Amino acid sequence: MPLNKEALQLDASPTSVAAARRWVVQVCRELGRDDLVECSELGVSELVTNAILHGEGPLSVRVRGTVHHPRIEVYDGSRRPPVLPSDPFREHVDHDDDDAFLTTNGRGLALVAMSSTAWGASVEMRGKVVWFEPARAVHEHYPPGIIDGVEDPDSEWTPLPDSMSVQLKDVDVPLFLSTITQYSNLRRELRLLALSHDHDYPLAGDLSQMFATFEKQFPPSSLHSMSAALLKSGDRADLTFVASPRSSQIFRTMFDMFELADSFCRNQRLLSLARTPEQVELQHWLLTEFLRQADGEQPTSWSQHEDGRAHAS
């Protein structure tokens, strides 16, 4: 089972439509979901076509969700949300002719909706993901799309009067970036499961709400800004973020929430990353540093933590 299968990167060319279809068919068969092949091909063809015609690079396709509810996602660099379909698209399209497909298609997401049990779009900081959960057969009455995302992420956020600067010294940049990516993917995964399958995965909604409460302690764009800055740095860097000591109880709760999220990933067979041991250790250090500094203690560096771990072993 291809847990955490890497995304397929695509060019903005007609050949990408066929490449995405072949890749998605292979993933469905690896998952043992041959019953979803037909609708997966139809839906991903439409999404990749729309991304080429109306989106921006980079483009990619990946499979997330669970084995029971796999979700096909197409990412592009435009933050403009897709236009929801108003009428079913029933006209026959020859998907074997990709050039004709590109010139005649792009008339909305109705075909995607007719091929899905749930579908929608998520507008993110650096682009958008349009997704669908393939049905076993094309149907005439399709579910409404779920559109979520961030329009003006920092407009309503103001720091608490007692906010303090937390210093993170000598951070391992590649490990930190991988941890942010893992957290962002998990956070988004839980949100989408809660939106489309709240009855099947009630814990996803609880975890999603807790993570949302955690994120309210910081400016919403802070992780994105921090990631962009770190990409330009070397292997080690010093970081600073602002939070209120009143957040300490929420931070303590996050220790348990991350463990619960890992368990949820394993038990529900999510097709996305659980934390690696290295990411677990870094997150533990990050949360501990906040709690220590909130209590008035001086910051310690990640290298000191590594040295202490080496001596202990």
Span 151-196, pLDDT tens digits: 555 455 666 677 788 899 999 999 998 888 888 888 888 888 888 8
Are 183 and 273 part of one and the same domain?
yes
Residue 175 lies in a domain: yes
Are 54 and 78 part of one and the same domain?
yes
Are 218 and 289 part of one and the same domain?
yes
Q: Give the closest residue to 144 by CA, choosing from 124, 117, 107.
A: 117
- In order of 39, 110, 136, 172, the CA distances from 139 in angstroms are 10, 11, 9, 50
Residue 159 lies in a domain: no
What is the C-alpha separation between 13 and 66, in angstroms, rounded?
A: 30
Are 128 and 196 part of one and the same domain?
no
Give the length of the chain: 313
Residue with tokens 């619960």: 260
Looking at residue 287, its pLDDT comes to 87
Backbone angles phi, psi at 128, to 5 degrees: -145, 155
Residue 154 lies in a domain: no
Looking at residue 273, its pLDDT comes to 66
Q: Which two tokens stand for residue 38?
A: 């037909």
Are 264 and 185 part of one and the same domain?
yes
Are 145 and 190 part of one and the same domain?
no
What is the C-alpha separation between 60 and 76, in angstroms, rounded?
A: 7
Are 93 and 200 part of one and the same domain?
no
Q: What is the CATH classification number for the domain harbouring 71?
A: 3.30.565.10
Which range has the worst mean pLDDT, 46-55, 145-154, 193-202?
A: 145-154
Could you give the number of structural domains in the chain?
2
Residue 243 lies in a domain: yes
Beta bridge partners of 66: 270
pLDDT in tens, 210-262: 888 887 777 666 666 677 677 777 889 898 887 777 777 888 888 888 888 88
Categorize the per-residue pLDDT at 105 as very low, low, confident or very high, splitting at 50, 70 and 90. Answer: very low
Cβ atoms of 119 and 132 within 8 Å: the answer is: yes
Query: Quick check: pTM over 0.95?
Result: no
Looking at residue 3, its pLDDT comes to 55
* Structural domain for 226, as ranges: 164-312
